[in-house]
Structure 1
Amino acid sequence: MDSPNTPRPLRADARRNRERVLAAAREAFAAEGISVPLDEIARRAGVGPGTVYRHFPTKEALFHAAILDNMERTIARARELSAAADPGSAFFEFLGGLLAESTVKRDLADAVGGNLSAQSGADAAHGQLSPEFVAPQKTLVALIGSLLHRAQDCGAVRPDLAVDDLMLVLKGAFMATAQAAGDEQRRRAFAVILDGLRAR
């Protein structure tokens, strides 16, 4: 029997509304940052402000939920590519997508590369991620490591690259490409970064 504190499953219509709010929030926060008012997110989602507040009582709660949603989607993509027949192509496809998304999802870039201490089991309070993000970040880093090792085993990626090295490269890439003058320069930077990971 469920305890009194166990959350009840959402009705289908409530679940759809929550997903619409999250989708609108992901786009709004990516484009304009956390300054977007909750009422504006409600308008973009096509729901009333009360619906937003029922699911997410504060903007911080919605922002955190949007980050977690982005991380879960990225984790799902990494899991899917972990079973690909061509590990080398899967590795570079995942990293290419991650780099491209990082230019419009600053929160995702921070979640992936912003707290290397958390992945080694250090106290999250000493890193940059809130505690709620530590577990999914560890899962994502582990999956990136699996993609890396499979790509190395098939000879597609340089063998001297460790997971910690790759995470540091990604962290630097997120920071650097955010300063790019435009999409063309960003694409060239991505190509240089990915080429440097290939086996010679």
Structure 2
Amino acid sequence: MRRTVTEHPVRLTKVRVVTAEVTQKLRSDARDNRLRILAVARAAFAAEGLDVPIREIARRAQVGAATVYRHFPTKEALFTEAFAEPMATCSAIVAEGMAAADPWRGFSLVIEKLMTVHALDRGFSRAFTSRLPPAVDYFTADRDRTLRLLLQLIRRAKEAGDLRADFVLEDIVLAMMATEGIRAESSELKVAASRRLAALMIQSFRANPVPTPLPPAVRLPLSAR
């Protein structure tokens, strides 16, 4: 059978549609792989540090090691990307506190919001407070900038006479680590419990504590031994 001239554009259109669908599927699979690798890496690094092998991360993510390296050329690059978003969130929180006209208000805001972030993401809490190798340069540099801003915020609050004189940066680390003990049935309850804990800590940090109403209490699971 002779083919008409009009058949060729029709067939070409069909090929283009099928090719686009295949390309989109490949891109979707690659995106899903990337997200799964990041989720697995975040949990693994939080629990085991940078010593966890790439092959083990690949196994848990159900992909090949080559797939991991295709997205992230080094383990340090994977670590940095895994914690990039929460690191940016923490940096923004501290910058917001520094922008507050009242040093104590800015300090209190930072404590409450940082504790909330860490209550929802224990993995990042451990990454933020851990000693990291110089190879994780981007993450470490961003974290160090944030810590320097925190030191400025602490100094401002002390100079204003609101923050107790013996308060140190490590006390913020302790406050964030305390949120790891929160056990709740939902993210909403974790946030509520974290805010109440933050309010208690903020009052204890004040140079001249003035009792103020706490956020509502949260019903948490209790277990007796």
Query: What TM-score, normalized to structure 2?
Result: 0.53
Counterpart in 2 of 1:33? 43
- Give 1:110's match in structure 2, choosing from 116, 126, 147: 126
Distance 1:29 1:105 in 2: 14
- Mapped pair 1:79 → 2:95: yes
Aligned residue pairs, count: 153
Paired residues for 1:34-183 under 5 Å: 34=44, 37=61, 54-57=70-73, 61-114=77-130, 128-131=131-134, 132=136, 133-161=139-167, 165-167=168-170, 169-182=171-184, 183=190
Against the structure 1 CA distance between its residues 38 and 196, is the aligned structure 2 distance closer, same or farther, given a 3 Å change threshold? farther
Against the structure 1 CA distance between its residues 87 and 155, is the aligned structure 2 distance closer, same or farther, given a 3 Å change threshold? same
Counterpart in 2 of 1:194? 202
Counterpart in 2 of 1:8? none
**1:112-156 CA deviation, whole Å, 9 max, x = no partner?**
333xxxxxxxxxxxxx31322432222111110111112222232
- Aligned-residue Cα RMSD (Å) equals 3.6
Taking only the aligned residue pairs, the percentage that are identical comes to 32
Against the structure 1 CA distance between its residues 157 and 129, is the aligned structure 2 distance closer, same or farther, given a 3 Å change threshold? same
Structure 2 runs not aligned, ≥5 long: 1-27, 45-56, 185-189, 209-225
Structure 1 runs not aligned, ≥5 long: 1-16, 40-49, 115-127
Whether the 8 Å contact between 1:177 and 1:186 is mirrored in structure 2 is yes
Whether the 8 Å contact between 2:98 and 2:153 is mirrored in structure 1 is yes
Against the structure 1 CA distance between its residues 67 and 38, is the aligned structure 2 distance closer, same or farther, given a 3 Å change threshold? farther
Against the structure 1 CA distance between its residues 26 and 136, is the aligned structure 2 distance closer, same or farther, given a 3 Å change threshold? farther
- Following TM superposition, by how much is the alpha carbon of 1:58 offset from its aligned partner in structure 2, in angstroms? 6.7
Distance 1:177 1:185 in 2: 9
**1:151-197 CA deviation, whole Å, 9 max, x = no partner?**
22223222332xxx232x23323333212233355443322222111
Whether the 8 Å contact between 2:107 and 2:153 is mirrored in structure 1 is yes
Which structure: larger Rg?
2
Higher alpha-carbon deviation: 98-107 or 63-72:
63-72
Distance 1:87 1:69 in 2: 26
Whether the 8 Å contact between 1:87 and 1:154 is mirrored in structure 2 is yes
**1:56-102 CA deviation, whole Å, 9 max, x = no partner?**
35776434312234223322332243122122111111111111100
